Amino acid sequence: MKNSVHYFPTRLFRWFLSQQILASALFFVVLCGGLLLWLEATTLEPEVRRMIRHAVLVTLAISFGGMIVISLAMARRLVVPLGRLIEKTRRLREFQKLEEHEPEALTFDEPGEWYELERALNRLGRDLRQKTIRLSREKTELRAIMSAVNEAVLAVNSEKRVMFYNPQFAYLFNQQSAPKGEIHITELLRSPEVLQIYETALQGGDPVRREVQITVSDERQARHFQLSVAPLRKKHNQEIYGAAGIFYDITELKKAERIRIEFVANVSHELRTPLTAINGYLQTVMSDFEKGHTEQAGEFLKIVAGNATRLKHLVEDLLDISALESGKELSMERVNVQDLTEAVIRQVRANSHKVHIFYDFQEMWGDPKRLEQVLRNLMENAVRYVPEGRNIEIRWARKGDEGFELHVKDDGPGIAPEHQARLFERFYRVDEARSRATGGTGIGLSLVKHIVQRHGGQVHLHSEIGRGSEFICEFPGQS
């Protein structure tokens, strides 16, 4: 088999050769000196001595020449396998592929150790290659898993220097995709709480789980995380060499929890107000009856009935929102918007305002009951919050080729920008006291938004203080 290793270690070769030549030269010089001294000491004829000296010098010169040739061959034989080993070691260092086949058997009487050494090196190379491939595959897999994980992950060593973080962490905390150098955890997260948790895990040796608040990149408000940090131990002696933490974002959960608590508080409050009134007036009417006074009873009972109606509406609205949120299907059909508008106008009694109505089309696709609720709520608001005698405009307009829009516009007091973003939240009122006094609970616009969204549309508000308000409900066409 052809060996593809070509490296020839010239410097090594030269060194071997020079050593051998030096040793041979020394040997021949000593030998030659010895022989010449001995010759001088003999009683031979000068002519014979001259001949012998000449013969000795020629023989020694020829032998020296021969020695050099042998040294050359020996040095070459010695360094060629060494050259192969050197090249293989270099390749190994650079993770290049070594020859899979057996090394070329050496000729003449070179020791078998060369062969063994080369075989061992080949095997080492093969194992190393396989391990490197496996490791890089595992690394890729781990990286893929870590990238797929929704939670941010951060691992530090025992000195709390960053070993690893995943892309989600990089995204949340505005870092480059891979940790650069051995930065300290405090350079990434300026949160003493987080530092403390990692420290507890590193020192105590047990997993630690706690809730923390951290400001994430580009957000003004801190987010809530459930942070679980577990120590990392060496396999052979269980020594702790670092800690890995998972940041589970619970901000939305916290928000939902807050909304739920606020909702229960709001509902209880809104129920209690009319109930207190009903209770109070009924008590008064009952005691008046006992005393035989009945003059005010009718008036009081009217207030009781009014509050009972308000309670009924509140509960109905809440049930409606709940039905819409829990995905109750709409019953979609062709809706005649003129019939719908006239029905609403009859209900809201807008006689004290100037109402203008415009129709760009006659029929649209939607749930008639729900669309009626939308217009009724917007009209009730207009009648309630716009002073008497002002204008209210209802416009059913086309949007593009397929869509429809309902505009309810007034020239009332308008709504300040700071309230506009929250206006469609449940129970949100601009002026709580005033709204409540007029019977408003802050549910109406939330219901409007839910209904329009369930139709696949959205609600917009254009309003300026002192210049009126315009609510626009956009509905997509029939799909």
Ligand X SMILES: Nc1ncnc2c1ncn2[C@@H]1O[C@H](COP(=O)(O)OP(=O)(O)OP(=O)(O)O)[C@@H](O)[C@H]1O
Residue 320 binds ligand X, judged by CB under 6 A: no
- In the shown chain, the binding pattern of residues 424 to 453 toward ligand X, with x for contact by CB under 6 A and - for none, equals -----xxx---x----xxxxxxx-------
Q: Least distance from C-beta 320 to ligand X, angstroms?
A: 11
The one of ligand X, Mg ion, none whose footprint includes residue 469, by CB under 5 to 8 A per kind, is ligand X
Figure out which of the listed residues 381, 441, 446, 463 binds Mg ion, where binding follows CB under 5 A. 381
Judged by CB under 5 A, the chain residues 433 through 462 that form the site for Mg ion are: 444
CB of 368 to ligand X, least distance (A): 20
Told to check if 405 binds ligand X by CB under 6 A, we report no
Work out whether 381 is an interface residue with ligand X (CB under 6 A).
Answer: yes
- Closer Cβ to Mg ion, 247 or 424, answer by number: 424
Q: Quick check: 246 and 227 in contact, CB under 8 A?
A: yes
Per-residue contact track with Mg ion, 168 to 207, x per CB under 5 A? ----------------------------------------
Cβ at position 343, least distance to ligand X in Å: 18
> How many residues would you count in the chain?
479
Which of 382, 394, 451, 473 lies at the binding interface for ligand X (CB under 6 A)? Answer: 382
Evaluate whether 155 touches 165 at the Cβ level (below 8 Å).
yes
Least Å distance, CB 438 to ligand X, is 7
Tell me if 410 sits within 8 A of 391, measured CB to CB.
Answer: yes
Residue whose CB is less far from Mg ion, 9 or 414: 414
Our CB check for ligand X shows the closer of 66 and 387 to be 387
Contact with ligand X (CB under 6 A) among 385, 396, 404, 475: 385
Give the binding site for Mg ion (CB under 5 A).
381, 444
Give the binding site for ligand X (CB under 6 A).
377, 381-382, 385-386, 410, 412-413, 415, 423, 429-431, 435, 440-446, 469
